[in-house]
Amino acid sequence: MPHLLSEIQRLTHHPITMKSMSMSRMAILRTMFLFSACIGIGFACGDDSSLKEVFRHHFMIGGALNDELVSGKDPQAAALVERHFNSITPENVMKWEHLQPEPGKFTFEAADRVVEFGVKRGMFIVGHTLIWHHQTPSWVFQDSNGKPVDRKTLLKRMKDHISTVVGRYRGKVRGWDVVNEALNEDGSMRQSSWMMVIGEDYVATAFAYAHEADPSAELYYNDFSLENEPKRHGALRLVKDLQARKIRIDGVGTQGHYKLDWPSPAQVEQTIEAFAGLGLGVMITELDVDVLPYDIETGAEISMRTEFRAELNPYPTSLPPDKEQELARRYADLFRVFVKHADKISRVTFWGVYDGRSWLNDWPVRGRTNHPLLFDRSYRPKPAFFAVVQTARKIH
Ligand code: 9MR
């Protein structure tokens, strides 16, 4: 028991007194559960390693940051970022609707803040994202009468946007998600407005414009569910087409919006090998593991929504120890694959910092309590964190 208490103190960073026992009994009980979850899976909880240090010989460790964190309103989250991440991606503020909400009217304040945050700390900053079908205002695709624009006009808008944005952050944003989610699940091209107005070469054109705006920036294609074969083949085709046209592309981001039971480690491994086989860098760009029940097959199709029902929100306070263990094992399985292929992977970025502020609390069902990341709602490392750390240590 004394050992258990000291481990709890180590985990929570709070001394346990009689007073705190009564005041925060729930928190302490929860930590005891966490501790037993750690023991259950044989991981060394209480290890306060920094992720970026632990994986410094493997790949960068990144996180998606929201504006609240960047502007100083969530200092505990910012402290986690400083300690654990050497790369950052803005979660929303570099999307078209934020940067150019109206024709020619650019609003850079929030994007500037995130770039300044990263530059100050010497972090690798990823720009997300230049061309996407979502979070792009409808004016982009319409003329002054609300009719669809022609190809020439849309190409000009694309070029203006890309050269203004990439040009502004030249030398500071070192890699860009140039095109995001251009594919359907069967590997065919998504019939987005980009595709319908410009045609399939909108992808190559966007990459060419980005390269022109900053010849030293790395350029990526980013998508989810590439672990599923049909979609992966679509992405391979798309990349090969760029390579055949001698258009610069440096890497592919497989987003990594995973479930406890999908995709299998073998699927993850095949995906990494397939893109690396084309001579590209591979990145896991939006990693999280959804632990809640779902009735949507896979992926991160943002347009899909389900109504809230209590049975879809089974862990509204905390994750029970058996689920905590399952999540830890899942993360360990994934990181074992990443570490094995560290020569092909340049970065693993989590989509968020801690559970309290994950997009998965609101997708595909609004208002749930999800637990997909390595840090809990009180900013404490979860058993999954310790499991991830162990994967680096076990192999070396
Ligand atoms: O995490 C983002 C969330 O805050 C936004 O509401 C959502 C809106 O589209 O976008 C989320 O981020 C997405 C990312 O930009 C692209 N891949 C899927 C991510 C999760 O939807």
pTM for the complete prediction? 0.90
Residue nearest atom 12 in ligand 1 by C-alpha distance: 91
User: Picking from 39-48, 55-64, 331-340, which range would have the lowest pLDDT averaged per residue?
Assistant: 39-48
Tokens of 245: 């046209």
**CA of residue 92 to ligand 1 center, whole Å:** 7
Q: Where are the alpha helices (DSSP H) in 277-315?
A: none
Q: Which residue from 288, 359, 365 has its CB within 8 A of the most atoms of ligand 1, so it is best to mutate?
A: 359
C-alpha to C-alpha distances, 374 to 63, 161, 182, 290, 331, nearest whole angstrom: 11, 35, 29, 12, 9
pLDDT value at residue 7: 43
Q: Is 377 exposed, middle or buried (0-12, 13-18, 19+ CB in 10 A)?
A: middle
pLDDT value at residue 46: 60
Mean pLDDT of 270-292: 98
Using CA atoms, how far apart are residues 28 and 51, in angstroms rounded to an integer?
25
The mean pLDDT value of the chain amounts to 90
pLDDT value at residue 20: 44
Return the domain boundaries, the chain: 1-42, 45-394
Residue nearest atom 19 in ligand 1 by C-alpha distance: 300
Q: pLDDT band for 305, please (50, 70, 90 cuts).
A: confident
Mean pLDDT of 306-332: 95
Query: By C-alpha distance, which of 241, 225, 235, 242 is closest to 187?
Result: 235
Checking if the pLDDT of 240 tops 80, the result is yes
Q: pLDDT band for 182, please (50, 70, 90 cuts).
A: very high
**CA of residue 246 to ligand 1 center, whole Å:** 31
pLDDT value at residue 143: 94
Give the number of other Cβ atoms within 10 Å of residue 306's Cβ: 13
3-class secondary structure, 229:
helix
Cis peptide before 263 (omega within 30 of 0): yes
pLDDT value at residue 14: 38
> 374, 382 in Cβ contact below 8 A?
yes
Ligand 1 atom, smallest distance to 351 CA: 1
Q: Does domain 45-394 have CATH number 3.20.20.80?
A: yes
**CA of residue 279 to ligand 1 center, whole Å:** 28
Residue nearest atom 21 in ligand 1 by C-alpha distance: 302
Residue given tokens 């809990």 in the structure block: 376
**CA of residue 10 to ligand 1 center, whole Å:** 34
Q: DSSP of 105-133, one letter per residue?
A: B---HHHHHHHHHHHHTT-EEEEEEEE-S
pLDDT value at residue 302: 73
Mean pLDDT of 254-280: 98
Mean pLDDT of 353-358: 98
> 333, 110 in Cβ contact below 8 A?
no
pLDDT in tens, 86-111: 999 999 999 999 999 999 999 999 99
Q: Where are the alpha helices (DSSP H) in the chain?
A: 2-12, 18-23, 25-41, 51-54, 67-70, 75-84, 96-99, 109-120, 151-168, 193-198, 202-213, 229-244, 265-276, 321-340, 383-395
pLDDT in tens, 137-164: 999 999 999 999 999 999 999 999 999 9
Ligand 1 atom, smallest distance to 224 CA: 17
pLDDT value at residue 264: 98
Q: Which residue from 91, 255, 287 has its CB within 8 A of the most atoms of ligand 1, so it is best to mutate?
A: 91
Residues identified as active-site: 181, 286
pLDDT value at residue 128: 98
Residue nearest atom 20 in ligand 1 by C-alpha distance: 300
pLDDT value at residue 91: 98
Residue nearest atom 4 in ligand 1 by C-alpha distance: 359
Ligand 1 atom, smallest distance to 134 CA: 9
Q: Which residue from 65, 67, 89, 92 has its CB within 8 A of the most atoms of ligand 1, so it is best to mutate?
A: 92
Using CA atoms, how far apart are residues 49 and 339, in angstroms rounded to an integer?
17
For a pLDDT cut of 90, what percent of the chain falls above it? 82
For a pLDDT cut of 70, what percent of the chain falls above it? 86
Give the number of other Cβ atoms within 10 Å of residue 138's Cβ: 9
pLDDT value at residue 82: 98
Ligand 1 atom, smallest distance to 64 CA: 1
Using CA atoms, how far apart are residues 297 and 231, in angstroms rounded to an integer?
14
Ligand 1 atom, smallest distance to 95 CA: 15
Checking if the pLDDT of 36 tops 60, the result is no
**CA of residue 223 to ligand 1 center, whole Å:** 12
**CA of residue 359 to ligand 1 center, whole Å:** 7
**CA of residue 247 to ligand 1 center, whole Å:** 27
Checking if the pLDDT of 396 tops 70, the result is no
Q: Please give all residues whose beta carbon lies within 6 A of any atom in ligand 1, as ranges.
A: 91-92, 134-135, 180, 255, 286, 300, 302, 359
Query: By C-alpha distance, which of 260, 194, 218, 204 is closest to 89?
Result: 218
pLDDT value at residue 306: 82
Using CA atoms, how far apart are residues 12 and 14, in angstroms rounded to an integer?
5
pLDDT value at residue 3: 43
**CA of residue 226 to ligand 1 center, whole Å:** 17
